[in-house]
């Protein structure tokens, strides 16, 4: 079966508009093959009616998510790109860890955005395990998200064949994996439990948000994802990822995506043969140089130094007083910046004033989730739901946390409640307590959680 030139053109335009995906001339054959695979897996077996049907579906339709999995390549393996992981293990993460120890805040938040079948996220967990002998004392978050639910199923199982280990040292495989049979290996329980997998579409507005656990990140991996997006979708995605980072955080993209113009004002930093992008304080000399100078000028500044400078992950001193803004508004701002202890304190003060405010309990749950205090977060959400049974974000967050704890039945019930509440809202209506997240993306994420749990 062939795809006609006209149907192919219509399909590419529709995919660019709805998914933000763009395909150069050299990839036209890949696009046609992806279209044919999508047709075969749908109720329509030929391209022309399938494309016409796609045009009638909403952007949040599950069919669009299935289509995305046919059009993108999820090729990955453990410790892919040795220079990058050497930079992480020897420079970037040790500096972050040292800064947090000095501040007395034993917290670290990492995000593999576009995690495919999970090898990248588990690689991060392995590096962290090697760097943190006292890992049990740390509030560690390793979030791994993808739009492809089939890939997430594989990732959650943590079972891989020999091909996923083609760049893995033997000692790593011996220590962190268990052989199941002659062909397959299973991720060690401690590493598997360190990673949280969740559905998320990088091309929509579902992040950064406290409800989706995508704020205050110290390190974000987003490799081989931007290359598929249109220029407009690339700019929007990078802006959201940059906002999701704490000041002092790092963004990792693939070399093919490393555009100084696209990633500015993040500062490019060469480390051990890899280039990472650093989020400076807005007024710092390096951030200013990144906005005013070519990328080579900024890189030269770093190359002249014998080692990475001290990395401060603390935001600028707080100047606003609670009297000039609500406790909750200020607490939410601080949580987004990664200042979780101060955000927790302000949220407690808000609750001292009004124990019956469901929004305060919802925000407290979000902050506790970021602090790694899942049990406390669940209790706060139960209070929020008792006070406001119609709070869709509270049911959504409770469902995600229960599923993370392995409580499948209760977690799915909470997600089903969130779906019911969100289904009656206009898709573009902003949901209170979600950092501006609209009902449509939150609804589709809740549905994806339910499908992932089946």
pLDDT, tens digit, for every residue of 372-420? 899 999 999 999 999 999 999 999 999 999 999 999 999 999 999 999 9
> Which residue is it, tokens 């795809």?
3
**Whole-angstrom distance, CA of residue 288 vs CA of residue 297:** 12
- How many CB atoms neighbour CB 98 within 10 A? 12
Q: What is the pTM of this model?
A: 0.86
Q: What count of Cα atoms within 13 Å lies in the side-chain half-sphere of residue 134?
A: 6
- How many CB atoms neighbour CB 84 within 10 A? 23
Residue 319 has pLDDT above 60, yes or no: no
295 or 426, which is more confident:
426
CA 239 to chain centre: 13
Sketch out the chain's domains with CATH numbers: 5-71 (no CATH), 82-303 (3.40.50.150), 322-452 (1.25.40.10)
| 12-18 mean pLDDT | 90
pLDDT at res. 283 = 56
Residue 311 has pLDDT above 90, yes or no: no
**Whole-angstrom distance, CA of residue 313 vs CA of residue 338:** 8
| 112-134 mean pLDDT | 96
pLDDT at res. 306 = 37
Burial of 302 (0-12, 13-18, 19+ CB in 10 A): middle
**Whole-angstrom distance, CA of residue 339 vs CA of residue 111:** 18
The overall average pLDDT reported for the chain is: 87
pLDDT at res. 305 = 42
């Amino acid at each position: 079966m062939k795809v006609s030139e006209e149907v192919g053109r219509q399909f590419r335009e529709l995919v660019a508009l709805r998914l933000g995906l763009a395909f150069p001339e050299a990839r036209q054959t890949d696009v046609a093959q992806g279209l044919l695979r999508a047709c075969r897996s749908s109720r329509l077996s030929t391209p022309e009616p399938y494309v016409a049907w796609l045009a009638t579906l909403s952007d949040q339709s599950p069919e669009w998510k299935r289509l995305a999995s046919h059009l993108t390549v999820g090729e990955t393996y453990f410790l892919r790109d040795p220079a990058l992981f050497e930079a992480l293990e020897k420079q970037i993460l040790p500096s972050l860890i040292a800064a947090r120890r000095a501040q007395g805040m034993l917290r670290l938040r990492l995000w593999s955005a576009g995690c495919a079948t999970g090898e990248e996220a588990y690689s991060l967990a392995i590096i962290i395990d090697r760097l943190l002998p006292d890992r049990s004392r740390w509030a560690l978050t390793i979030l791994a998200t993808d739009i492809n639910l089939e890939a997430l199923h594989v990732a959650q199982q943590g079972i891989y064949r020999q091909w996923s280990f083609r760049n893995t040292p033997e000692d790593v495989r011996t220590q962190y994996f268990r052989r199941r049979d002659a062909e397959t290996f299973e991720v060690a329980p401690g590493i598997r439990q360190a990673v949280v997998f969740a559905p998320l579409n990088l091309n929509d507005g579902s992040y950064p948000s406290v409800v989706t656990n995508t704020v205050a990140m110290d390190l974000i991996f987003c490799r081989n994802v931007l290359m598929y997006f249109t220029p407009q979708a690339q700019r929007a995605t990078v802006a959201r990822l940059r906002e999701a980072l704490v000041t002092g955080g790092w963004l990792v993209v693939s070399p093919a995506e490393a555009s100084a113009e696209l990633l500015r004002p993040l500062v490019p930093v060469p480390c051990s043969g890899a280039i990472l992008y650093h989020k400076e304080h807005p007024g710092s000399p390096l951030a200013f140089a990144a906005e005013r100078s070519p990328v080579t000028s900024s890189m030269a500044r770093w190359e002249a130094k014998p080692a990475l400078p001290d990395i401060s992950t603390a935001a600028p001193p707080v100047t606003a007083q609670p009297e000039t803004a609500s406790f909750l508004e200020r607490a939410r701002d601080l949580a987004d910046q990664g200042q979780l202890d101060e955000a927790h304190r302000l949220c407690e003060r808000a609750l001292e004033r009004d124990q019956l405010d469901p929004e305060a309990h919802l925000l407290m749950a979000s902050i506790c989730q970021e602090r790694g205090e899942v049990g406390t977060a669940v209790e706060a959400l139960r209070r929020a739901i008792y006070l406001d049974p119609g709070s869709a974000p509270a049911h959504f967050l409770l469902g995600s946390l229960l599923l993370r704890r392995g409580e499948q039945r209760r977690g799915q019930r909470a997600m089903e409640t969130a779906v019911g509440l969100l289904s009656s809202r206009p898709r573009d209506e902003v949901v209170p307590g979600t950092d501006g997240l609209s009902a449509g993306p939150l609804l589709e994420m809740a549905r994806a959680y339910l499908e992932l749990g089946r």
